[in-house]
Structure 1
Amino acid sequence: MILRRTLLLASTAVAAAASMATLSASARSRGPAGNPGAPRPDLHLAPAREQLTALRRRDTTSRALLEQYLRHIEAANPGLNAVVTLDAEGARAAADAADRHLARTGKTLGALHGLPLTVKDALETKGLRSTSGSPDLAGHIPDRDADAVARLRAAGAVIVGKTNVPVMCQDLQTSNPVFGTTRNPHDDTKTAGGSSGGPAAAVASGMTSLETGSDLAGSLRLPAAYCGVYALRPSGGIVPTRGHIPRPPGWLSTSDMLTIGPIARNADDLAVLLDVLAAPAPAEAAAWRIDLPAPRRGRLADYRIGIWRDDPYCRVDATVRRCLDDVAALLRAAGAAVDDTARPVDLPASDRLFQRLMFATAGATATDEGFAADIEAAEKIPADDPRGLFLHSRTMRHRDWLRANEDREKLRARWADYFTTHDVLITPAVPAPAVDDQTTTPLPDRYITVDGEKRPYFDQTAWLNLAGHVRLPAVVMPAGRTPGGLPLSVQIIGPYLADRTVVDVARHLARQLPAPVLPPAFTA
């Protein structure tokens, strides 16, 4: 089957426009077309689509927009520590080259022509330090871009710098010995999440309009939920992943559960970056292209939407339940068909399978000595012990993995059956709003609190894990706020390859919701 890739640019950016409502009317006014000498002073805070339009029309230059970003990063980043490697001179050279090209040819370099943006430090960037938060890689300067970064550059993006991650992306909070801790832009006592905590905080605070992050166990969506921004975990396999750390530098393969995707402040901007990232791996590009289907429906009223508010396996707190209730009421008021009874899968069984497959893929890079020690330890502990699940999964025989993979395919079939009668499923993103920063607490001693009850630390990702191992697209989007001003979010899961559908539902839903809460650093 030959697939063809098309470009989707949505017609509105209502959610992002609402989030800009606090800016003055004079700051939002546009200078005359073709007059780059007087660019909008706040253009760097506008949606990415608006910035790209201004660049194409030559209402501003890439260099002028970049300088706005650099000033904003200088003002906003010290309190957040989201941008950890800045390449101002390299970005200036790239911006100037983009401006010269447009002036000389009258044509853009690509869909992201001249747009300054940052990139998660887990993705290798040619000539720019790429550490994945690991002291062992503190001086690592790749000689080749990750495939996803190469897609950004080919589309004309200007890479400004790298954003923070936990060590080797292996935590749900963002801190490492190389760069320190990234703070939540809404409350510096709370975590920004992980592993894409730096990217999510940078987008939320206006230091970039778009980010390219990665998601295995919710690494895109968890930070998006805590920081109040949008993130899309694309369908598995539609974005090339080579050059993501971990695996170690130089590896050609990555985890079969890893996906690279966009973070933005509205759904339309997710679509812009999805269209750049979605492509076959370079070695396969000669034979096929990607053509993601259009959204399933044209209006919110036409959608068939499932709602899964809560589950005994991973109870959510009162604020999250109320948020889901409000979303369901808004959808019904808009005319959508809402079903809050059918469940596509069993959450505990799905989550256990997710964990087994995740732990199995993590064993690929273990040393021979370390793997042998894990095998020996696994023989001394039952598989149903929490530690035993990790060890038995990490050291499973290939036959056992094949059986687990067969279970995954059966689970995918159950999801496919569900989506014959439902277009999307809306679930909680996380059990509670952003949890306390615990980066100085040893991992075994960490916990979260849900309605006053202490819960296991890794409960944070149980709802996000629904989509991860079955290759389904999932958007996390802001859908409210707590009385204290922390973002509340929901997750929208769709059928395999229905990425445009989940983005479209997020776009429609945003029009029914209050404007997302803006952190103080956004207008710093």
Structure 2
Amino acid sequence: MDLTRLSAREQLRALERGEVSSRELTTAHLERIARHPEHNAVVTVDADGALAAAEASDQRRASGEADAALLGLPVTVKDSLETEGLRTTCGAAELAEHVPGRDADAVARLRAAGAVILGKTNTPPMCQDLQTNSPLFGTTPNPHDPRRTAGGSSGGPAAAVATHLSPLDVGSDLAGSLRLPAHYCGVHSLRPSYGIVPTRGHIPRPPGWLSTSDMLTLGPLARSAADLDLALSVLAGPSPDDSPAWRLELPAPRHERLHQYRVGIWADDPYCAVDSETGALLEQVAKDLHDAGAHVDNTTRPVSMADSDRLFQTLMFANSSASASPEAFAAEVELADKLDPEDRSPRTIYPRARTMRYRDWLHANEERQRLRRQWAGYFGDIDVLVTPAAPTAAVPDQTGVPVPERHITVDGERRSYWQQTTWLNIASLVHLPAATVPVGRTAEGLPLCVQLIGPYLADRTVLHLADLLTAERS
């Protein structure tokens, strides 16, 4: 048996039954990583540390101390998450020698749960691209077609899980950085509800910062929705500073069976139209849900995608200015001051947002809170919303193409490179849990996912429906 092809839960069951040791599992994954350098997904391997942790896990099991949720399970983590004593670069040349003295809070939770850290997975510099290429480590290609991108910025994590280098990875998601690579590589992912997984220790905020973006979340990638749920049970909870008083108890799924669910379908939108294969997949998913007895609503729309995307871009660009050098920020302020006050075209969003006054940010945040209330009202009648994950399956890799010249093609139409994540950003803006679920393939054999969005803190409802949908489509 190829142990690396087992899901995370299956590997844990094998450990619990004594059918395999953690050292054997860890060795199998390390050997697979070494045999397949073409995937270029795991870019820093900690073989000695992983084998030592595996042996310690086996000793704990032998002594009857097997009470940790991930005891002995080999995992990887995105190279944007700090790991004590192990290089953490976030794909950036300036951090090539950065070796943290402390784990990110999420990594500490993995270790506390008994996970064995195999190494770190590739990401573009400072997580700032929709494909994964680093000056330190090169390109992570799509596992299904090396001419195409694995997505970004969690391309390394998605490719590692897809190619069985790791059963589970933890990455980050602001503008779809978890969900886009999962879609392109054909694996499951979860962007948890904002705030339930501590983010301290995540770069690109400079090493040592305690704060991060007000839309960033950390979440798991795996080969099943059940494995995402397992990871969520370990990762979710109050930050160390809040844990003396606060506890987190996520609600159980809203329903038990598929026919009980009320599902909204948002299959397409003129603001970010999808290609014919993606549209056909959404139609088929809607039919499958209807045939299974679920209540399916194809007509309601929770928000205006155009308005939501405009606000998302405003808040994202405002947040990204935190890491700018004083000199660079001063230049941006000078540029913004020269803009025509009457010019509100899309090209002015970036400079205006990067340099906005705090009062303007407060007004934008108030608009976001009103949108959150609008979404909450929508989920009074709908349990989960199903949307496309992206306009197309994995697009060609454009490493070497200047960013202004990059684009995607949707049914022959040239479109903005950044529209790859427009469907994903609608959940990021308003802090909602969102999962990607691989449920189809293109005629060329590329994976196609759908996105499932649920009410705030209804992460387990989203994952439960993802599990039911996967079973229905298999």
User: Normalized against structure 2, the TM-score is what?
Assistant: 0.99
- The more displaced of 385-394 and 172-181 is 385-394
TM superposition shift of 1:223: 0.2
For residue 286 of structure 2, give the secondary structure of its aligned residue in structure 1.
helix
Residues 183-213 of structure 1: CA deviation (Å, up to 9, x unaligned):
0000000000000000000000000111100
Match of 2:72 in 1: 114
Deviations 1:247-275 (A, max 9, x none): 00000001111000010111000000000
Give the letter for the 1:385 counterpart. S
Matched, 1:356 2:314: yes
Deviation at 1:43, TM superposition (A): 2.0
The aligned runs of 1:497-512 (5 Å cut-off) are 497-512=457-472
Number of the residue aligned with 2:364:
404
Residue matched to 1:92: 51
Deviation at 1:480, TM superposition (A): 0.3
Contact 1:109 1:154 in 2 (8 A): no
How many pairs were matched up? 472
User: Which residue in 2 is equivalent to 1:222?
Assistant: 180
Residue 325 (structure 2) aligns with: 367
SS of match in other structure, 1:188: strand
Cα deviation, 1:93-112, whole Å, max 9, x if unaligned, reads 110111112112x1215100
* Most deviating of 386-395 and 314-323: 386-395
Alignment of 1:161-310 (within 5 A): 161-310=119-268
Whether the aligned pair in 2 keeps the contact of 1:98 and 1:109 (CA below 8 Å) is: no
CA offset at residue 315 of structure 1? 0.4
Partner residue of 2:23? 63
Partner of 1:35: none
Instruction: Describe the SS at the equivalent of 2:457.
Output: coil
Q: Which residue of 2 aligns with 1:322?
A: 280
- Residue 9 of structure 2 corresponds to 49
Q: Which of 489, 495, 515 is equivalent to 2:455?
A: 495
Note if 1:82 corresponds to 2:62: no
Q: 2:345 aligns with which of 385, 405, 408?
A: 385
Q: Deviations over 1:225-268 (max 9, x none)?
A: 00000000000000000000010000000111100001011100
Q: CA RMSD in A?
A: 0.8
Off by >4 Å, runs of 4+ in structure 1: none
1:446 aligned residue (406, 409, 414): 406
Distance in 2 (alpha carbons) for counterparts of 1:255 and 1:265: 28
Gaps of 5+ in 1: 1-40, 515-524
C-alpha deviation, 1:70, in angstroms: 1.2
Residue 331 of structure 1 aligns to a residue whose secondary structure is helix
CA drift of 1:381 comes to 2.7
CA drift of 1:57 comes to 2.0
Q: Distance in 2 between matches of 1:451 and 1:510?
A: 27
Say which SS state the counterpart of residue 351 (structure 2) adopts. helix
1:294 aligned counterpart, secondary structure = coil
Q: Is 1:416 aligned to residue 376 of structure 2? A: yes
Instruction: Give 1:80 shift.
Output: 1.4
Determine which of 423, 426, 431 is the counterpart of 2:391: 431
The residue aligned with 1:29 is none
| Whole-Å separation in 2 of the counterparts to 1:317 and 1:278 | 36
Tell me the distance in 1 between the aligned counterparts of 2:49 and 2:220: 23
* Corresponding residue of 2:442: 482
TM-score by length of 1: 0.89
One-letter amino acid matched to 2:247:
R
In 2, Cα distance between the equivalents of 1:333 and 1:196?
35
Deviation at 1:387, TM superposition (A): 3.3
Distance 1:93 1:479 in 2: 38
Contact 1:109 1:156 in 2 (8 A): no
Q: What's the % identity of the aligned pairs?
A: 61
CA-CA distance at 1:385 after TM superposition = 3.3
Distance in structure 2 (CA, Å) of the matches to 1:312 and 1:381? 29
Which segment is superposed worse, 109-118 or 421-430? 109-118
Residue by residue, what CA displacement relative to the aligned partner does 1:352-405 show, whole Å, maximum 9, x if unpaired?
000000001101111111111101111223553333101100111000000000
Q: Secondary structure at the match of 2:147?
A: coil
**Which residue identity lines up with residue 399 of structure 2 in the other structure?**
T
Where does residue 158 of structure 1 map in the other structure?
116
Distance 1:101 1:198 in 2: 31
Task: Give the 3-state SS of the residue equivalent to 1:306 in structure 2.
Answer: strand
In structure 1, give the amino acid aligned to 2:52: A
SS in 2 for 1:189: strand
Aligned equivalents of 1:108, 1:395: Cα separation in 2: 52
State the 1:72 CA deviation: 1.2
Secondary structure of the corresponding residue to residue 476 of structure 1: strand
1:244 alignment partner, SS class: coil
Supply the distance in 1 between the matched residues of 2:102 and 2:348 (Cα, whole angstroms).
39
Unpaired runs of 5+ in structure 2? none
1:462 matched to 2:422: yes
Q: Deviations over 1:139-176 (max 9, x none)?
A: 00000000000000000000000000000000000001
Q: Distance in 2 between matches of 1:507 and 1:212?
A: 19
